[in-house]
């Protein structure tokens, strides 16, 4: 965990606050790679603390600061509202070290798709693609220009950046974007409906797609949830997880260390190796292939399809 200082706050667009975070003693910050995010811990007096993930949108070579952009979400639990209303220059915030779920690797041809605030992890990726001399294009969609962050920054890339503004009737044509991707890998971040549609198109076309989701729209608890046993292979303990309980909570109660952060299936911190058994994946971290392979699972929300799991804990 890092305690950083808000060095500056600017409006990146309507409803989007850009924060620059630095070490209070001026130390270098831990390294990161394009596509990484940090967890921001939001302590609210008299209310439960929240943890939210924000992509780093600055330059990985600049070890003096992390840059994030916070979209104010009125419908959420209040984390982003709290940041918008309370975070000021000079304040301290607790954040995790950067974590990379995108595993971005520059290739000769790349297609980037961003919806709204999903532009944030894409910015350092296109900078890396440009620096590597890759052939790339960015498709960036938003509601209206005033709500689309970093438009000015993207102008330097000329016609490699295609902008779609829905209030002007402009829409991304996903089938043709995927069809044109051919041998390219597609990196995408944005609202669930955009990523769902893109996953469907890419799956049909057999195109390589890497997405990152900020929210977990999977159902994490159902009426039909059943009890199951989890054997912890490293510690030799066995725990029982009842409906309404999480593996993570039961593991922690048993005194077995298990890292966690968001506890909602979005950050990837609680990823755990599966030794045996069939996980019932309910997170937003793993893609379809990783779910099928089931080598790992997110134990904060995912469960067991059968009666028993063996986990490397």
Compute the least distance from the CB of residue 262 to ligand FES, in Å: 4
Compute the least distance from the CB of residue 184 to ligand FES, in Å: 29
Choose, by CB under 6 A, the member of 58, 268, 277, 279 that binds ligand FES.
268
Q: Is 246 in the site for ligand FES (CB under 6 A)?
A: no
Compare residues 80 and 178 and give the one whose CB is closer to ligand FES: 80
Compare residues 150 and 269 and give the one whose CB is closer to ligand FES: 269
Q: Is 36 in the site for ligand FES (CB under 6 A)?
A: no
Compare residues 202 and 286 and give the one whose CB is closer to ligand FES: 286
In DSSP terms, which residues pair with 309 in a beta bridge?
230
Compute the least distance from the CB of residue 33 to ligand FES, in Å: 19
Q: Is 260 in the site for ligand FES (CB under 6 A)?
A: yes
Task: State the angle between helix axes of 174-181 and 192-205 in degrees (0 to 180), rounded to the nearest 10.
Answer: 50
Read off φ and ψ for residue 312, nearest 5 degrees: -80, 80
Q: Which of residues 280-309 bind ligand FES (CB under 6 A)?
A: 283, 285, 298, 300
Choose, by CB under 6 A, the member of 70, 267, 286, 309 that binds ligand FES.
267
Stretch that binds ligand FES, among 70-78, 182-190, 225-233, 260-268 (CB under 6 A): 260-268
Q: Is 98 in the site for ligand FES (CB under 6 A)?
A: no
Compute the least distance from the CB of residue 138 to ligand FES, in Å: 28
Compute the least distance from the CB of residue 248 to ligand FES, in Å: 7
Choose, by CB under 6 A, the member of 98, 265, 277, 279 that binds ligand FES.
265
CA distance 119 to 143: 13
Stretch that binds ligand FES, among 8-16, 147-155, 160-168, 267-275 (CB under 6 A): 267-275
Residues that bind ligand FES (CB under 6 A): 260-263, 265-270, 283, 285, 298, 300
């Amino acid at each position: 965990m890092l305690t950083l200082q808000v060095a500056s706050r600017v409006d990146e667009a309507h409803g989007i606050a850009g924060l620059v975070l630095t070490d209070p003693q001026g130390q270098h910050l831990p390294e990161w790679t394009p596509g990484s995010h940090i967890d921001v811990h939001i302590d609210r007096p008299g209310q439960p603390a929240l943890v939210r993930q924000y992509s780093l949108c600055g330059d990985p070579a600049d070890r003096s600061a992390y840059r994030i952009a916070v979209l104010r979400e009125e419908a959420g639990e209040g984390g982003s509202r709290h940041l918008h209303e309370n975070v000021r220059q000079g304040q301290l915030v607790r954040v995790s070290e950067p974590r990379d779920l995108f595993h971005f690797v520059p290739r000769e041809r790349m297609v980037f798709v961003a919806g709204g605030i999903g532009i944030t992890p894409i910015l350092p990726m296109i900078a890396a693609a440009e620096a590597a001399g890759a052939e790339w294009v960015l498709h960036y969609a938003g509601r209206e220009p005033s709500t689309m962050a970093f438009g000015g920054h993207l102008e330097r890339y000329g016609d490699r950046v295609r902008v779609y503004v829905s209030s002007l009737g402009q829409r991304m044509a996903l089938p043709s974007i995927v069809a044109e991707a051919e041998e390219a890998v597609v990196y995408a971040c944005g609202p669930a409906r955009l990523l769902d549609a893109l996953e469907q198109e890419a799956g049909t076309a057999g195109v390589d797609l890497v997405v990152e989701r900020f929210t977990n729209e999977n159902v994490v608890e159902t009426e039909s949830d059943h009890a199951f046993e989890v054997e912890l292979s490293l510690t030799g303990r066995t725990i029982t997880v009842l409906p309404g309980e999480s593996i993570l909570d039961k593991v922690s109660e048993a005194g077995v260390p298990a890292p966690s952060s968001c506890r909602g299936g979005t950050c990837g911190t609680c990823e755990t190796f599966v030794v045996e058994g069939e996980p019932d994946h309910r997170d937003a971290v793993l893609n379809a292939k990783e779910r099928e392979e089931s080598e790992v699972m997110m134990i904060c929300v995912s469960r067991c399809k059968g009666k028993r799991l063996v986990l490397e804990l």
